[in-house]
Every structure is written in structure tokens, then in C-alpha cells.
Structure 1
Amino acid sequence: MSTPTRPPGGTDWSYETLRDCLTHERLGSYLKASRNELSEAFALYEWNMEASASVLSLTSMTEVVVRNALDRELTAWAARKDADREWFDLAPLDSQGRQDLAKARDRATRRGKQPERHGKVIAELSLGFWRFLVEQRYFTSLWVPATHASFPGGPADLRARQRAVKNRLQQLTFVRNRAAHHEPIHRRDLLNDLRAAIDLAEWACPDAGAWTRATSTLAEVARKRPVTA
């Protein structure tokens, strides 16, 4: 096996030095995929960075659409129950949900130094919070009376819709977290991740689905994946 010391084009780095900088452990999956051809491993690593950036863009688009759709229906639900309280004060959140909400409120008010604004609290809640909000545990308390209506374009059966939304949000949360932490995503079916994001956006709002499909770069990036040995 022959490993070039430097890539073609007169660049000012060597693959061996970069390997030591990044560590063999971090490059392990790329080296395995390229059968230890260092130049191919780095080509795959560079593609993985581009794919991760595209995943983060896609999931941020989807997150905003999903959280706004859920917030809209939960706000309407709370108004029907008690017009003077926020939905997140009425929702029967579990301990993790309450912790996430408390942290979001703390950030939104800069630890109580600013007045609390609904929109700011919503923006501070993570994708993971919204993912857990559509879990089976909230089917009776939140999904049936409120959150199912956030995805009118989803499956007609409410249980099937809940499972479909939950599964896609789990999928996107997982790939988003890997991308955000610079982990390998080169073995994933990224086109399937793209379809999951488009489904969620489209079920919430057909225009949002069309916008996501038209503006996401993930399909183009996926097609450029280097062919490894």
C-alpha cells in the first residue's frame, strides 16, 4: 500500500502529520472505510465535514417548523383550559421536561434579569425537548387533545401519526447530534434523513415541505460522497 506524503497540488501539509493531529481514534472509521489509504480517508473526512454542515442546516430548518407547529397547537390547547397560563405551565411534563423548561426559561430571561417572553422561551427549548414531547407517554395528555393537530398532513390514524412523527424526530435528533459533535455520518443513508425532514415539514405545512426540499443541499452533498476502496 502506498500513502502519499502530501496531496497533489503543492499543498503545505502532510497526511501523516494531520493524522497525528486528529488522532488515529478519530480517523478510525475513515481509515477502515478506505482500507487504510490515508489520502482516501482524508477525502472522506472532508466530505463528512461538508455533509455535517448540510445536516445541521437541514435540521435547524426542520426544528423551527416543528417547534412552531407544536407551540401553536399547545398555545390553543392552553387557552381552552386556562387563558392566563402558558401551555408549558399546564403540560404534565416529566422530570426531564421540567428541567429542560427551567433551563430554557433561565436562558431566556438571562437568569431572571429580563422579563420572560413566550417566544424567547420557545426558541431556547432544544430539539430534544420537542422530540420527547411527542413520545407515547404524552399520547393521552397532549397528543390527542393538542399536538396531533401540529401535523395535519401526517397519517390519518392518530396512533400511526404519533409513531411516524416520533420516529422521524428521533432520527433527525440522532443525526443532528452526530453532526454537531463532529462524529462520522458517512455510513448513514443521508437521503433517508432528508426524507424524514421533508416529511415532518410537509406534514406541518406543505409550503414548508416544498421549501425544505428546494433549499436543502443534503441530496447534492450525498451524491458527492467519495468512493472508498
Structure 2
Amino acid sequence: MAIKLYLWNARIAKAFLFPLHVAEVTLRNAVHASMSARYGGPNWMMPNAAGPIYPYLHTRTQDAIVKAISRLTRVGFPAPTADDVIGSLSFDFWSNLFRHPSLWAPPPQPGAVWLLRDVFPNLPARHGKPDVQQLVARINKFRNRVAHHEPIYGEKHREILDAVLTLIGYRSPATADWAKQHSTVMEVIRTPPTPATYLPGKLLSTVKMAPPPILGRDTTLAA
């Protein structure tokens, strides 16, 4: 049974990769687009004079940017652009970015667009930065467990998938619907292993397998 759980755990992790991928790309692109529009272009977070936000970021956030630039330089990007850096930053970076209260504070000017609602135009009216921060942190924690091959078969998979789709939907309901339509998470979690199964979630008798080829002494193998 332990091997069956191990295989099922791997199937769950594999199934979650797609919605987590969509959530991460949606989040980073949304934040980058809004920050670029508000702070003078795509270099808003670069560690130079062109990056107006960098000096006000937390030290850990600054370090993540510098390390990303260093990694890119080592692998053949002598002068990484902001887009290069954005694409190389981890989910941790975007999760930690919501810890900066000054970035996400409601604007003092009447009628000004709140940055948080610019990033997430479909955020419920009663929700604010703490709600988004908690949601992103929960997804990031689960994402890291998947990436580190940890046991996730005992997690509340439906709730986590709902959280992932909710985050995507705060930016784009159409993208959330698309991710849900193509996700295989529900199919996988509905087929947990049992003592009667030989493959995780399926009876061996229901699995169609092609018979192995029979090789004779005079069989010629293709090059």
C-alpha cells in the first residue's frame, strides 16, 4: 500500500503543476504590469536609478532580485532586462512582495485607483491586502511542497485547487475557467489507491496494455 500511496502522491503533484503554473504566471504578470504602469516602466524593481521601488523594498526582496540578476549573468545574460529578471524570480518573491504594507496601502487621494485592485480587478469589495497575502502564501506553501516532492496526498486538495483558481480569477475569470477546464486534479483525487488496486486508482483489469513483443533468435532490430 505504501508504494501505491507514493505513486498516487506523484500523480497528484503532477496534476497540480498546471494550475499552479497558471497561477504563478498570472500573478507575476499582473503585478509587473501594474507596477510598470504606476512606477514609470518595466524597470520598477531593478537595483539602479531606473528602479524607483527598489530602495524601499525589504532586504530579503532586494536580495532575491540581485540573486536573480546574478544567476542570469552566469548563464549568458550579461545585461539582463527587467523581463528577464521577472521571469526568473520565484513564487516566494511574489508572495513576499505582499508583506510590504506601503506598496499596497489604499491611496490617500479620493478617486485614485488602489494598486491592489489594479492588480486584482475582481477582488471582492470586502477583501484587502491581508486576504490576498494569506491566499498567496497558502498557495506558495503548497507549491513548494509539490516542488520539493513532499507528501501531499493527505492535503485538502479541493480547497487548495479552489484557492488557486480563486487567485487566478481575481485577475481574470476567463483564465480561471480555462485553467479549471484543463486541470486534471479532480480526476486524480477521485481515484485514490485501495488494497485491491495494482495501479494507483485503477484496477489492473481495466488498464489496457499492449502485449510485449516476442523476439526470436533471428529477429533483426532496427538501428
Which band: TM-score by shorter chain?
Answer: 0.7 to 0.9
State the TM-score, normalizing by the size of structure 1. Answer: 0.73
Mapped partners of 1:112, 1:226: distance in 2:
46
1:183 is matched with 150
Matched-pair contact (CA < 8 Å) for 2:36–2:44: yes
The Cα RMSD (Å) is: 2.1
Matched-pair contact (CA < 8 Å) for 2:104–2:129: no
Shift, 1:86, TM fit: 1.8
Shift, 1:48, TM fit: 0.1
CA deviation digits over 1:160-198, x for unaligned, max 9?
Answer: 232222122111111111111111001101111100110
Shift, 1:143, TM fit: 4.8
Shift, 1:217, TM fit: 1.2
State the TM-score, normalizing by the size of structure 2. Answer: 0.75
SS in 2 for 1:90: coil
Trace 1:22-41 onto structure 2 (pairs within 5 A).
40-41=1-2
Unpaired stretches in structure 2, ≥5 consecutive residues: 46-50, 107-113, 196-223
1:141 is matched with 103
1:45 is matched with 6
Matched-pair contact (CA < 8 Å) for 1:75–1:87: yes
2:209 is matched with none
Question: Relative to 1, partners in 2 of residues 1:64 and 1:182: Cα closer, same or farther, differing over 3 Å?
Answer: same
Question: Relative to 1, partners in 2 of residues 1:143 and 1:210: Cα closer, same or farther, differing over 3 Å?
Answer: farther
Mapped partners of 1:215, 1:143: distance in 2:
35
Mapped partners of 1:112, 1:141: distance in 2:
32
Mapped partners of 1:99, 1:208: distance in 2:
32
1:56 is matched with 17
2:211 is matched with none
Question: Relative to 1, partners in 2 of residues 1:156 and 1:225: Cα closer, same or farther, differing over 3 Å?
Answer: same
- The one-letter code of the counterpart of 1:68 is N
Question: Relative to 1, partners in 2 of residues 1:161 and 1:41: Cα closer, same or farther, differing over 3 Å?
Answer: same
Which one has the bigger helix percentage? 1
Question: Relative to 1, partners in 2 of residues 1:150 and 1:182: Cα closer, same or farther, differing over 3 Å?
Answer: same
Give percent identity, aligned residues only.
29
1:153 is matched with 122
2:44 is matched with 87
Mapped partners of 1:125, 1:113: distance in 2:
15
Unpaired stretches in structure 1, ≥5 consecutive residues: 1-39
SS in 1 for 2:149: coil
